[in-house]
């Protein structure tokens, strides 16, 4: 028998609200997601007009510290 499928959730890095990121991560955990993810792009991602992208390591540390 194969291993169960696990699902992760990408956190939105286009917000400067650490409380919102924490709530999204906690809700993902409540709903049974196995992990949360961040992308490691610092500028204009995922859209060209997006000027605010939080850095991945500091963002994850902020979410985990609450």
What pLDDT digit, counting tens, does each position of 7-64 carry?
999 998 877 788 888 999 999 999 999 999 988 876 666 667 766 778 888 888 888 8
Helix (H, G, I), strand (E, B) or coil at 10: strand
pLDDT at residue 45 in the model: 64
pTM of the model as a whole: 0.75
Would you state the structure tokens that stand for residue 28, as one six-digit string?
């993902």
11 in Cβ contact with 25 (< 8 Å): yes
């Amino acid at each position: 028998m194969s291993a169960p499928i696990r699902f992760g959730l990408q956190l939105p890095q286009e917000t400067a609200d650490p409380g919102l990121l924490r709530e999204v991560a906690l809700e993902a955990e409540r709903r049974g997601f196995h992990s949360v993810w961040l992308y490691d792009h610092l500028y204009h991602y995922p859209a060209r007009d997006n000027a605010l992208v939080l850095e991945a390591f500091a963002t994850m540390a902020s979410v985990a510290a609450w």
